[in-house]
Amino acid sequence: MSFEIPDGLTDLLQDFTVAVLKERPPDLVKFAAEYFNKLNDKKSDDQNERSRGVRFAESEPMQTDESDDEPMIEPPPRQFARRKSVSAERYDPEADEEEGDQKIVHPKSDEQRKRLSEAVKPIFLFRSLEPEQMHCVLDAMFEKKVTPGEHVIDQGDDGDNFYVIDSGTYDIFVDNKQVGKYDSSGSFGELALMYNMPRAATIVATSEGSIWAMDRLTFRRIVLKNAYEKRKVYESLLENVPMLKTLEPYERMNIADALFSKTYEDNSVIIKQGDSADCMYFIEDGEARVTVKNMKEPDSDEMEVMRCKKGMYFGELALLTHKPRAATVYAVGKTRLAVLDVQAFERLLGPCMDIMKRSIDSYEEQLVSVFGSKAAISDLR
């Protein structure tokens, strides 16, 4: 007797087995009943969404229903993803056994090398690499051309590559909702490789384009350790900055990638009033004293206007206003600061601009209360 195995049965049972291994339910039959019921509900939801119009397909160009004003709906998630991560534990660099020193080299033309070195310039995850490490990273990357509608990554899949954008535009979807987009630069796909988790988002090309891919092993061997440590170090600092609470945790991670620490001795100058500005600071440890003097009277005394403690930030004003530094800031005791440069500030703090702009009012009030009148201070805006 021969049996025909229906399409999808193997994947269906495999997914179920993975769920059992992950959850370890005490009552297997009850768990199975709930699991398949949920799956059935999800299937109907997906079908309903699909029938409402917008649909992407992996190899087809994106089709949109012009008459439909509803927000875009993400490509229906693939019903039974072929591979699923079983382990969702966080990465432990000390216990990493995947290392090995296999060097991967994808030959490139001069033109490709030139494009690649431009594309990696703004990638914060690569910033702390030594020149030799950077060399290995560039060698290991390979180019992938994409077409509109192509899924570069599907949420829920296992992570294979990390990607750096060379050209093109890409939409980001999480749980069927568009949550952002990339335009001609940036990188994605590090999360699954870093934390051994399924892909957290779906990335769909919305134009012709080109991306540089790096395999999982090279990413873990060279890029991961530094990047992982950095995210861990700055995670709690950034979580406790009230202004950044409105951001998604993932957005705070991107800020962590861009930060670097700098230590100042007691009473040393961190910022000088009147200087031009190229970064802002978060206090990791210690304290900062903010003083202002009347620039129209160079011999006048500096007046203390504010103290910044751990978790507070300063130096953002001049980046917002594109004016010289409005105050001098000194370290009080040995003080460690996390520095964010102006390019990262502009790229990553967009959602916080309004909050920061609002604080200009309170700076002005403070200055007026110290100097007695607005005339003595230069215009902050």
d(CA 127, CA 138): 13
The number of residues making up the chain comes to 381
By CB under 6 A, name the one of 73, 75, 91, 159 that touches ligand 1OR.
159
- Residue 137: CB atoms within 10 A of its CB come to 24
By CB under 6 A, name the one of 199, 220, 221, 252 that touches ligand 1OR.
199
Judged by DSSP in three states, 137 sits in helix
248: contact with ligand 1OR by CB under 6 A: yes
- Residue 359: CB atoms within 10 A of its CB come to 13
80: contact with ligand 1OR by CB under 6 A: no
- Kindly determine how many residues on this chain lie close enough to bind ligand 1OR according to the rule CB under 6 A: 18
By CB under 6 A, name the one of 200, 283, 290, 329 that touches ligand 1OR.
200
Cβ(362)–Cβ(378) under 8 Å? Answer: no
39: contact with ligand 1OR by CB under 6 A: no
Sheet with 202-205: strands ordered across: 151-153, 202-205, 169-174, 177-183
251: contact with ligand 1OR by CB under 6 A: yes
d(CA 238, CA 227): 16
179: contact with ligand 1OR by CB under 6 A: yes
Query: By C-beta, is 191 or 256 nearer to ligand 1OR?
Result: 191
Helices assigned H by DSSP within 52-156: 110-120, 131-140
Query: By C-beta, is 203 or 340 nearer to ligand 1OR?
Result: 203
188: contact with ligand 1OR by CB under 6 A: yes
Q: Contact region for ligand 1OR (CB under 6 A) — 90-98, 188-196, 220-228, 342-350?
A: 188-196
Query: By C-beta, is 227 or 237 nearer to ligand 1OR?
Result: 227
Cβ(125)–Cβ(223) under 8 Å? Answer: yes
Which residues contact residue 19 at a Cβ distance below 8 angstroms, ignoring those fewer than 6 apart? 31, 35
Residues interacting with ligand 1OR, by CB under 6 A? 153, 159, 172, 174, 179-180, 188-192, 199-201, 203, 248, 250-251
